[in-house]
């Protein structure tokens, strides 16, 4: 495992959180092997929490867009971004839920270190994708007289981005299952 890979960064964060007791126990052969596997599960938990928070941060800019429509009394645009909020919430729940983490892949699998690193790389790409989504959701600054067509096109485009993210979440299991 290279020192600059995403999995090593998350494992290092886990080790820093656990402190001296973890270091002491990992010196013993039996505990060291158990803790080695455990640290990947903890790194996965940290990754999922971070990814969930990044998706949650998409909601506020969308709410501000909606507030502007209400403030401008644009009845034709009110609730146009509601579908985006519901998709984001569903994605966030999938990531937090057991279907996304290492436990969601099935308890019968004994993952190798290279498979766990591949999953971490995948998760890291999803975190990067969520940062790109945040940039895109902050970009539109609709003027008060914006046309309904422009807003619908933007909502449709952003929904396509969220659908791509959803596909990447579903494809994560393929990395582990070697499909």
What's the rounded Cα separation, in Å, for the pair 50 and 121?
Answer: 14
What's the rounded Cα separation, in Å, for the pair 71 and 130?
Answer: 28
Per-residue pLDDT of the chain in tens (179 residues, 90 and over written 9): 455 666 666 666 655 655 555 555 556 655 555 556 666 677 777 788 888 999 999 999 989 888 888 888 888 778 888 898 999 999 998 888 755 555 554 444 566 667 777 777 788 888 889 999 999 898 888 888 888 888 889 899 999 999 999 998 888 777 666 65
Return the closest-CA partner of residue 169 out of 5, 60, 55, 9. 55
What's the rounded Cα separation, in Å, for the pair 85 and 20?
Answer: 42
Using the structure block, give the residue that is written with the tokens 């998760």. Answer: 123
Taking the domains of the chain in order of start, what are their residue ranges?
37-176
What's the rounded Cα separation, in Å, for the pair 37 and 116?
Answer: 10
Three-state SS annotation for 84-97: HHHHHHHHHHHHHC
pLDDT value, residue 1:
47
Three-state SS annotation for 102-166: HHHHCCCCCCCHHHHHHHHHHHHHHHHHHHHHHHHHHCCCCCCCCCHHHHHHHHHHHHHHHHHHH
What single DSSP character describes residue 75? T
What's the rounded Cα separation, in Å, for the pair 60 and 45?
Answer: 24
Q: Are 141 and 76 in contact (CB under 8 A)?
A: no
Q: Are 34 and 28 in contact (CB under 8 A)?
A: no
């Amino acid at each position: 495992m290279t020192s600059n890979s995403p999995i090593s960064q998350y494992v290092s964060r886990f080790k820093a959180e656990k402190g001296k007791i973890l270091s002491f126990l990992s010196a013993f052969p039996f505990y060291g092997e158990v803790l080695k596997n455990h640290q990947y599960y903890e790194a996965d938990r940290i990754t999922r929490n971070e990814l969930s928070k990044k998706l949650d941060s998409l909601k506020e800019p969308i709410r501000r867009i909606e507030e502007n429509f209400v403030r401008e009394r644009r009845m034709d645009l009110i609730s146009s971004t509601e579908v985006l909020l519901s998709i984001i919430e569903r994605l966030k729940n999938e990531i937090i839920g057991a279907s996304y983490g290492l436990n969601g892949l099935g308890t019968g699998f004994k993952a190798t270190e290279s498979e766990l690193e591949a999953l971490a790389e995948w998760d890291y790409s999803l975190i990067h994708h969520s940062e790109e989504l945040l940039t895109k959701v902050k970009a539109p600054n609709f003027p008060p007289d914006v046309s309904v067509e422009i807003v619908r096109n933007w909502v449709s485009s952003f929904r396509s981005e969220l659908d791509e993210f959803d596909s990447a979440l579903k494809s994560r299991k393929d990395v582990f299952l070697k499909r």
